[in-house]
Amino acid sequence: MRPRVGDRARRSLTLTRRHVETFAELTGDYNPLHFDADFAARTRFGALVVQGGLTTGLLHALVAMDLPGPGSVFLSQSWKFTAPVYVDDTITAEAEVVSVHATKPVTQLRIVVTRQTGETVLEGEAWCYTMSPDGGTGA
């Protein structure tokens, strides 16, 4: 089904130490902000934080599985991190359709990610393209 302006989706995930370790194994991001509690405690964050890729990874799942849904890929993203995400935080990614191209399977989303306290940790927008397996568009 083609997305419509106003459609919304949300997805949540609790980010654990294991997520941080796995992400580092996959990407090589062993920044001491993620692994050295003493180092992180002396920064403005005050404690270990998860890699930004884990926060944005939830957005990839949201787009690919929920809205616009299967067959969707990002065309572009413009977002900013507004607060750190700490180990064991539960984050919720939310997307709202703000525009749909009239003739192409292109959707513009407003993106917000919050932590369990309600604080926004990321905000911005993304443009997505939806493909179908028959070679046509997902529209």
- Phi and psi at residue 98, in whole multiples of 5°? -105, -20
Fold of 8-130: Thiol Ester Dehydrase; Chain A (3.10.129)
Q: What angle do CA 108, 112, 118 make, to 5 degrees?
A: 160
The identity of residue 86, as a single letter, is Y
Q: Across the beta sheet with 72-81, what order do the strands follow?
A: 8-14, 90-100, 106-115, 120-130, 72-81
Return per-residue pLDDT of the chain as tens, 139 residues.
789 999 999 999 999 999 999 999 999 999 999 999 999 999 999 999 999 999 999 999 999 999 999 999 999 999 999 999 999 999 999 999 999 999 999 999 999 999 999 999 999 999 999 987 766 555 5
pLDDT of residue 106: 96
